[in-house]
Chains A and B, each alone.
Chain A
Amino acid sequence: MGEDFETVIGLECHVELSTRTKMFCGCRNEFGAPPNTNVCPVCLGLPGSLPVPNERAIEYIVRIGLALDCEILRYSLFHRKNYFYPDMPKNFQISQYDLPICVKGHLDVQVDGQTHRVGITRVHMEEDTGKTTHAGASGRIAQAEYALIDYNRAGVPLVEVVSEPDIRSPEVARAYFNELRSTLEALDVSDVRMEEGSLRCDANISVRPAGSPEYGTKVEIKNLNSVRSLERALKYEQERQVAALRTGEKLVQETRHFDEGTGTTHTLRSKEEAFDYRYFPEPDLPPLEPDTEWVEKIRGALPELPAARRARFERELGLAPRQTTLVGASKATADFLEEAIDLGAPAAAVANWMTQDLSGLLNKARIELPESKVTPQHIADLIRLVEESTISVTAAKQVLEEAFETGKPIEEIVETRGLRQVTDTSALEAWVVEAIAENPEPVEQFRAGKDGAINFLVGQVMKKSRGAANVRTVQELLRAKLSGS
């Protein structure tokens, strides 16, 4: 990316709410139920059925709006978004158009110690569609012999969070997405699982000459199934667009599809092929007019949000900003930290273990903390045993690895692997004497005043103890022996 171009990014994120029932009927809202078991005349769009709004879903979206510092409109409308698609039971989606429930908010995100404020244009309520599976010989849509539709997801409450085009780099886009996800998590309104589709994201991106007041030609990218895909797709698209502008090629406004395999994007449909959704006010639903008292009650009950939690970690626990960013990245990690602290472990030690060894293990296994077998109890025990000098730091790392693999209690691993440190002087004495006898050269050097030479001797003793000796005790013994005789 040259200095002479600026990237402009806006994100549209779809959030499935974790209400007990669907948006407009009493069917259960759950992921993974057998196909077409959570359906009724309303979510199947049968003739004569009518939608009735789920009050809890409205409460959830107000919660989201308030957390994003939005204005909650006193009068908002549902609209119909009309287009034909087989997994959409009514061939229109109940959504919102020019009067969404929440408008004009913002979310602050941190990248490399810098704060970026991303405006939130709107947060609106809509319903999800069903899910189509194309079946047949090859599994490709074009060759499919038939399609199967599961309507369990049809009518699940869906919230769309639309950002302003305030994002200037793929890194900030990723940070915004992560911050939004942890905010939603803290609000307890969604499972926010991208792999289950409860959090989805489309990105709009354009580039323009730096300093230009006008936006460049906008491209919408679809099929972003992970945070990694989001950042990769944006980086690719940023380069593609800059390259095009440099060679004088004209960009077209279009929707592009991100291919995870190749890391590239390709045209899905041009602006001319865009649907005319023929929005009009949903006549089956009265306007939403949340009263101020109700909204204020929800505001008063908002939980601590990620930014506030991170600030508290810095203030009260003395963690470094770099650590709070990592530990405070998700509700799961922040909860983990606090639980380990509640079990008696010092905050700094927990944060170190989490951001270094544990984080390394998670990355290697490509899983998230909640999916691992390691619990706050493991970390608290590990820290306690190191502090009590029962095990060495080196041994502790091995213990954590095993706990990560098996989930076994720390004490049990330490015992079965015989990693308890030897601090008994009489047991160590023989090894110390041997080491001195076997290594006259370092002994000479040490006696001649080269203090660092003692480390070699410490290493030899540790080797003889197979790592079980307590380093500090060994040092003390060696010094005593060498200066004493």
Chain B
Amino acid sequence: MAELCDLTAADLASKLRAGETSSTEVTESCLARVEAVDERVRAFLARTTELARERAAAADARIAAGDAPSTAGIPIALKDVLSTKDITTTCGSKILESYVPPFDCTPWARLAAAGSVLLGKTNCDEFAMGSSNENSAFGPVHNPWGLDTVPGGSSGGSAAAVAAGEAVWALGTDTGGSVRQPASLCGVVGLKPTYGLISRYGLIAFASSLDTVGTFTRSVRDAAILLSAIAGSDPMDATSLDRTVDDYAEGLDEGVSGLRVGVVKEAFGEGVQPGVRSSIQSALNRLSDMGASIEEASLPHADYALSAYYLIAPSEASSNLARYDGVRYGLRVPGRDSIEMMARTRGAGFGPEVKRRIMLGTYALSAGYYEAYYGQAQKVRTLIIRDYEKAFESFDVLVSPTSPTTAFRIGERADDPLAMYLSDVFTIPANLAGVPAVSIPSGLDEAGLPVGLQVTAPVLGEALVLRVAHALERELAFDAVPPLVAGLAA
């Protein structure tokens, strides 16, 4: 019953190699799904349909010639903060509505060289600032699990596209949870690797010291395959780690027997939805059944993570977004002189959340306030890094809910930024510490919406988080399908 576009990349790769299908067929399947659902989901800001068909044909030729890596011919969607040469890249913002990059971001450049098929660019919160995708200048994305609910954010379009079968997999970015939280709300696998493992070259910066490229997939194995294809040092990014690429799919089946799993106690307090709590609890029981030891762990300074994040990220953003001034590219609103032109351009081009964060960051970096805000936040960041180091002395991995709740209704938190910010309270610490974390679906809540479980490991512990997530994925056998997709088959 499942269509090609609903399969995992790993399955499709073996079918392609066996000659059971072609990249063209898989691509057409995705395009048909986009055609069928995207008017309702609104995952894509731009579709590159013709380019996708060309690339699929080229991939088929490569596969036939026996010269194709495992990602060849698999259709992908990219979050619209990832630069693509000659393809408009908007960051979900009016200020970049007309911006066409002259170069590819490194992750896409690597995938393109490996024969990947680009379906299009996905919707997101403006400049990746948001947790619901409602901050996009081009309208919200609708969660395939409930069209009146949000897909999470900021990479909401990528998450929804993978959940709805519009793409086999997708890339997003994660600065405070922007891959893991939407993956959780959309019932897919979302991986945020160690800071610096994937090059940020071409990722349009929100907060440089926190930004990471991440993956959306329908299985943990797919996450491992996609990560292997895009990770590794890049001479164009001075913060990329000097490391050769591992094959992250290798140790996936080693199981969890004997592993020490820490359950982050701070992530089970007030504000966690009962359905989320019970889903995580039953997953933990299964882990225990599989031979892992489960004990309570603590990140004592996690309570301060949100505040520190909302000083550090806006501070960096206020500087990163200063370049959008109408001088060289993007929107320009004329003024009497260049300063007025810049002010008008920025006034008209940025949405309210972006402006709020620019103002927050500008204030936090100002003379006389720097020590009290930015300086203090950096100290908290150091404490959180130490919390993790301490916790990982006793545990191999840490587990928590990915987000306190499942998908909420569109508009529900739009007027309450603080309630919205709380959506990322469990994902932010991993960004501050730079450690890898993955979110996998652990089940559905009472309303039939997916719950996400987060596994975190020490720096460069990708193989470990993927191994635990893979074991749990097999054990939980989460096979629910979003009602939207189920409806299509009927």
| Interface residue ranges, A against B (CB under 8 Å) | 41, 44-53, 80, 82, 84, 86, 89-92, 147, 149, 276, 278-280, 283-286
Partner of B323, one of A50, A90, A279: A90
Decide if B323 touches A280 in the complex (CB within 8 Å): no
Decide if B236 touches A52 in the complex (CB within 8 Å): yes
CB distance from B450 to the nearest CB of A (A): 31
CB distance from B483 to the nearest CB of A (A): 37
The interface-forming segment of B46-54, B200-208, B221-229 is B200-208
CB distance from B415 to the nearest CB of A (A): 30
Decide if B238 touches A285 in the complex (CB within 8 Å): yes
| Nearest A residue to B361, CB-CB | A278
Residues in B with CB closer than 8 Å to A44 are 328
Task: State the CA gap A84–B321 with chains docked (Å).
Answer: 11
Partner of B103, one of A41, A84, A90, A284: A41
Decide if A52 touches B238 in the complex (CB within 8 Å): yes
Residues in A with CB closer than 8 Å to B322 are 82, 84, 90-92
Residues in B with CB closer than 8 Å to A92 are 319, 322
Decide if B239 touches A284 in the complex (CB within 8 Å): yes
Decide if B370 touches A48 in the complex (CB within 8 Å): no
Decide if A89 touches B236 in the complex (CB within 8 Å): no
Is B102's beta carbon under 8 Å from chain A?
A: yes
CB distance from B237 to the nearest CB of A (A): 5
Within 8 A of A (CB), among B46-105: 82-83, 89, 91, 96, 99, 101-103, 105
Is B374's beta carbon under 8 Å from chain A?
A: yes
Decide if A284 touches B208 in the complex (CB within 8 Å): yes
Task: State the CA gap A278–B375 with chains docked (Å).
Answer: 12
* A52-B235, A89-B323, A283-B316 as given contacts; A276 in contact with B202, CB under 8 Å: no
Is B315's beta carbon under 8 Å from chain A?
A: yes
Decide if B365 touches A53 in the complex (CB within 8 Å): no
Decide if A48 touches B202 in the complex (CB within 8 Å): yes
Q: List 10 A-B contacts (CB under 8 A).
A: A44-B328, A46-B103, A49-B202, A84-B325, A276-B367, A280-B316, A280-B365, A283-B239, A284-B239, A286-B239
CB distance from A285 to the nearest CB of B (A): 5
CB distance from B86 to the nearest CB of A (A): 14
Q: Which of B200, B236, B329 has the most CB of A within 10 A?
A: B236
Residues in B with CB closer than 8 Å to A53 are 238
The 8 A CB mask of B183-226 against A (1 = contact, 0 = none) is 00000000000000000111111011100000000000000000
Decide if B83 touches A48 in the complex (CB within 8 Å): yes
Residues in A with CB closer than 8 Å to B338 are 86, 147
| Nearest B residue to A134, CB-CB | B338
Partner of A48, one of B204, B207, B327, B374: B204
Is B382's beta carbon under 8 Å from chain A?
A: no
Is B339's beta carbon under 8 Å from chain A?
A: yes
| Nearest A residue to B330, CB-CB | A47
Task: State the CA gap A47–B99 with chains docked (Å).
Answer: 9
Given A46-B101, A82-B322, 5 extra CB contacts under 8 A: A47-B323, A84-B325, A91-B323, A279-B370, A280-B365
Task: State the CA gap A283–B312 with chains docked (Å).
Answer: 11
Task: State the CA gap A276–B319 with chains docked (Å).
Answer: 13
Decide if A284 touches B101 in the complex (CB within 8 Å): no
Decide if B342 touches A84 in the complex (CB within 8 Å): yes
Task: State the CA gap A41–B315 with chains docked (Å).
Answer: 23
CB distance from B484 to the nearest CB of A (A): 33
Decide if B374 touches A280 in the complex (CB within 8 Å): yes
CB distance from B406 to the nearest CB of A (A): 33
CB distance from A310 to the nearest CB of B (A): 42
Residues in B with CB closer than 8 Å to A283 are 207-209, 239, 316
Partner of B329, one of A46, A49, A286: A46
Within 8 A of A (CB), among B324-382: 325, 327-329, 338-339, 342, 362, 365-367, 370, 374
Partner of B325, one of A91, A285, A286: A91
Task: State the CA gap A89–B209 with chains docked (Å).
Answer: 21
Residues in B with CB closer than 8 Å to A47 are 83, 89, 91, 96, 99, 101, 204-205, 323
Residues in B with CB closer than 8 Å to A279 are 365, 370
Task: State the CA gap A147–B96 with chains docked (Å).
Answer: 22
Decide if B319 touches A278 in the complex (CB within 8 Å): yes
Partner of B319, one of A41, A48, A80: A80
Task: State the CA gap A278–B323 with chains docked (Å).
Answer: 15
Decide if A89 touches B316 in the complex (CB within 8 Å): no
Decide if A48 touches B101 in the complex (CB within 8 Å): yes
Residues in B with CB closer than 8 Å to A286 are 238-239
CB distance from A267 to the nearest CB of B (A): 20
Partner of B339, one of A45, A46, A49, A84: A84
* A47-B91, A285-B238 as given contacts; A82 in contact with B319, CB under 8 Å: yes
| Nearest B residue to A24, CB-CB | B238
Residues in A with CB closer than 8 Å to B365 are 82, 278-280
Residues in B with CB closer than 8 Å to A278 are 318-319, 362, 365-367, 370
CB distance from B316 to the nearest CB of A (A): 6
CB distance from B72 to the nearest CB of A (A): 25
